Amino acid sequence: MKFDQASPPNPIDQERVVTRPHTRIEGPLKVSGQATYAYEYALPGAPTYGFVLGSRIAHGRITRIDASRAEAAPGVLLVLTHENMPAQGASDTPVPQQRKASPQLAGPDVRHYHQAVAFVVAETFEQARAAAQLIEIEYEQTPGQFTLADTVGSGKEPQDAVDSVVGEFEPAFAASAAQVDRTYTTPDQSQAPMEPHATVAHWDGDQLTLYTAHQVVHWVKRGLALTLNVPQKDVRVVAAFVGGGFGTKLLFFSDAVLSAAAARLLGRPVKTTLHRPLIFNNTSHRAATIQRVRLGADQDGTLHAVGHDTWTGNLPGGDSEPACEQTKYLYGGEHRLIRTRQSELDLPPGASMRAPGEAVGMLALEGAMDELAEQLNLDPVELRLRNDVQFDPEKGPRRPFSSRRLAAALRTGARAFGWDQRPGAPRERRDGEWFIGYGVASAFRTNLVQPSGATVRLNRGGTLTVETQMTDIGTGSYTILAQVAAEMLGLETAQVEVRLGDSDFPQASGSGGSWGANSSSAGVYAACDELRRDLSRKAGYTPANTVFRGGKVWQGAECTELSDLAGPEGVEATARMTFGELTEQFMQAGFGAHFVEVGVNAYTAEIRVRRALSVVAAGRILNPVTARSQCLGGMTMGIGSALMEALHVDHDLGLFVNHDLGEYHVPVHADIPDLDVIFLDERDDQSSPLRAKGVGELGISGVGAAVANAVYNASGVRVRDFPVTLDKILAGWEADS
């Protein structure tokens, strides 16, 4: 099935099951410990345990490696280094960094700190870990580039240059009555998922089964097959439950490659989990940015010149952090200059982290909008409303938005939050020791879709089974897909079994880029639509005239039980949803608005978020329970990004020194106040048959900016170097005194 025209009325519109609040159907498995994550699979035969040893330098080469003491240690079965690792190929997954990073132990050259340089397999984890410390390695260290700021304006040609130019920005900006020209910096950040990267690898002859923590099953299947130089048909990947990924599990790392290679050599299953420090330096992270935003407007606040430059860094061949993305679409302005520059850095690989681009790009753009509003003495909400636009600002009216409820989100949020009580000037309102401030920011995230397929099977007795490669990374995929299937076949969710994350099932979008729920639901829709046709014909009815309700298929007053149509063998249908050119004809995105109240301590400059509200317009909300959870998670991560999250680079050694959850600060319960979410009613018929859009990353995009804007409204100190910490507020107060 191809989705290439606006969605007509369809069975989802009944909204008998879809759009209704349903708690997670897999919840009982998780709280009882019965949901099996990658490291927990028990396979026939005694397992072995792998331990990855990371490099102690960031740039250079290995001149000598001696594994003899480790090989002789108790319980050790195998030690792999670049000297005895089986030959590897290169991955060609859609993630550019994976194409460079997928070979492990590929040679003596060291590209970044904690790159895997050895792999020890033993009878127990403790034996493998102890033996790894016995490996003797000598390095020749060479100078590396670890500081992004040093590469900006250095004259060195950047790795890539992405420009978006409309009109004549420079003269338009120079002629503007009101101008903002500000530079914002964001640090390196880690996804730090609760479940570490983990793999269990098992070979049965030439057949490899890999239980691993990954967000997109078919990416790791293809990429690993190419890396190991084996046919894809001989690789099965299982990722039934994934304990968070936030982008880092869009790639695969040393645990997958080395477990698979060692298991084949040993003829025994190998279990490997990356210990926490390796997750920060061996796997991927969000790269730091330096962003310059220039806005030129009339005295009434109408934007005419919009400029956004981003500098970011990565290993050779890696992707850039697309922090300018939202600036292309969020506000009007006929003269536009948007540029991305990327330098080569010798830090661990930079790749996707929740809402890549918008999460940090909105910190700069929405901060600049707040500064422009202050300069114009204009309410920040009103400034945004005056620059709302109903078409792609770069391409004009010929590419309208498929749906855009930004203005409604801003107005709804302002009323619900009590924005009219916002302090008119910094340090104007006080509650005991605390200065009180309000902040606002728009929310934006591009809507993406991916081809997805599924198999649906009506079983004997009238129950339904759904099988698809789609993953559940804690987002509610099991529940949403059960709702869609139940809606299509006239069943209850309790009558639907959903099976996910197995490469033996039809290929699906996987989880990433906020495309998962909408895309995979469309795949289930397509399979259910095919099954409806088959069952209608089997009942002797005309498919176009049938209604599925209450476990029966109806044509007029006549009906047939689904259990009768299933028979003893059941009835099965497989289909795939692909997408046409609607994303080119229409700009598709989710929109919203974030409102935040903070307190800043008048004596210590400690910052406390007191309450926050997100208003979200993201098409049809398939399940308000799981969607709300996604938004609350995004809001929490946005607060963390604004106030505490930062990987600290040792600029001499080239590593992230705070590589554990003790020193990499993320929000805890005490940091997060009363959060609320309002969903606006919306149906985007250009997005999918579900008329839904992505919601998972919309929740983070703009939250940090709303926090920073509120901090300014409370304290009078504008911090443009994130995260916003109390020392920076104190420094601002001292500079004012």
**CA distance readout (Å), 510 to 247, 352, 473, 498, 501:** 11, 14, 9, 15, 8
Residue 684 DSSP one-character state: -
CA distance 608 to 184: 22
* CB 467, CB 481: distance < 8 Å: no
Residue that is written with structure tokens 């307190």 in the block: 599
Please identify every residue annotated as catalytic. 697
* CB 132, CB 274: distance < 8 Å: no
Nearest to 6 by CA among 485, 486, 528, 585: 585
What are 705's two structure tokens? 């900016």
What are 82's two structure tokens? 């670049």
Residue that is written with structure tokens 């399979």 in the block: 527
DSSP-assigned letters across all residues of 178-216: EEEEEEEEE-BB----SSPPEEEEEEETTEEEEEE--S-
CA distance 79 to 122: 9
CA distance 85 to 95: 24
Residue 606 DSSP one-character state: -
Amino acid at 650: D
Count how many Cα atoms sit within 13 Å of the Cα of residue 248 in the half-sphere of its side chain. Answer: 29
* CB 635, CB 699: distance < 8 Å: yes
CA distance 348 to 284: 7
- Residue 672, classified by CB atoms within 10 Å of its CB into exposed (0-12), middle (13-18) or buried (19+), is middle
DSSP-assigned letters across all residues of 451-489: -EEEEEEE-TTS-EEEEES---SSS-HHHHHHHHHHHHH
Nearest to 76 by CA among 237, 325, 266: 266
* CB 355, CB 321: distance < 8 Å: no
Nearest to 120 by CA among 64, 73, 78, 75: 78
CA distance 525 to 426: 52
Residue 244 DSSP one-character state: -
* CB 52, CB 85: distance < 8 Å: no
The widest CA-to-CA distance across the chain, in whole angstroms, is 85
Task: Give every strand in the sheet of 198-204, ordered side by side.
Answer: 76-80, 116-122, 48-54, 270-273, 198-204, 207-212, 235-238
CA distance 480 to 483: 5
